[in-house]
C-alpha cells in the first residue's frame, strides 16, 4: 500500500471531519412544541462547535423552563447537532448534553 493510499484510508475512516453545526431545540408555538434549528436548515451551518455550544447555552439561559405551564416562545431540549442532524458530544464534558431538559 502506498503512503497516499494509507493517508486516504485514514482521512476517510479515522476521524470524521464534521461539516458544520446547528443548535437543535423545541420551541413552544401555541399548544405545540415545534422542532427548530439555529441557524436554520436552509442556511449554512456554523463551522465551530465551540461557538455553537455557546449559542445553545445562551439560548438555554435566556429561556429557562418555568415551573408553570409552558408559554409561547419557551425553548426546551436544546442541544447541538452536526450536518446530518446527529447530536454531538459537548467538548467540555465529553458526553451528550442537553440544556433545558423537559419531557414532552
Partner 1 sequence: MEGELTAKMERMRHVMTEYGTDMIQAMVILVVGLLLLQFVMRKLRVLLDKKVKDRIRATTVLGIIYILALVIIFSAALITVGFDSRNLLRLMVMIGLGAIVILLVLRPYLPTLPFKVGNTVKVGTLLGKIEATTMVHTRMKTFDGKTVFIPNSKVLNDFVINYHYTPTRRIKIDIPIRHIRDILKTKQIMESIMVEDPRVLLKPARPVVYVINLVDGCVKMGARCWVNNTKFWLTQCDLLEKMLNFMERDKIVLAGRRQAIRVFHETPLEVSGEGTGPALDMQATSAAQVPEETGFAAVSDDDEI
In the complex, the residues that contact partner 1 under the rule CB under 8 A are 7, 11, 14-20, 47-51, 91-94
Least Å from the CB of residue 35 to partner 1: 23
Question: Smaller CB distance to partner 1: residue 54 or 102?
Answer: 54
Least Å from the CB of residue 10 to partner 1: 9
Smallest CA-to-CA distance from 75 within 28, 10, 14, 42 is with 28
Least Å from the CB of residue 3 to partner 1: 12
Q: Identify the bridge partners of residue 90 per DSSP, sorted by sequence position.
A: 95
Question: Smaller CB distance to partner 1: residue 64 or 87?
Answer: 87
Integer-rounded Cα Rg, in Å, for the chain is 17
DSSP assignment letter at 70: -
Question: Smaller CB distance to partner 1: residue 11 or 41?
Answer: 11
Smallest CA-to-CA distance from 49 within 13, 14, 76, 86 is with 86
Amino acid at each position: 500500500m502506498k503512503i497516499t493510499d494509507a493517508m486516504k484510508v485514514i482521512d476517510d475512516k479515522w476521524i470524521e471531519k464534521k461539516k458544520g453545526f446547528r443548535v437543535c431545540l423545541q420551541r413552544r408555538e401555541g399548544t405545540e412544541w415545534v422542532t427548530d434549528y439555529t441557524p436554520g436548515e436552509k442556511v449554512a451551518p456554523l463551522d465551530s462547535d465551540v461557538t455553537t455550544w455557546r449559542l445553545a447555552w445562551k439560548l438555554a439561559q435566556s429561556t429557562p423552563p418555568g415551573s408553570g405551564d409552558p408559554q409561547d416562545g419557551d425553548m426546551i431540549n436544546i442541544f447541538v447537532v452536526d450536518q446530518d442532524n446527529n447530536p454531538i458530544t459537548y467538548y467540555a464534558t465529553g458526553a451528550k448534553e442537553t440544556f433545558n431538559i423537559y419531557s414532552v
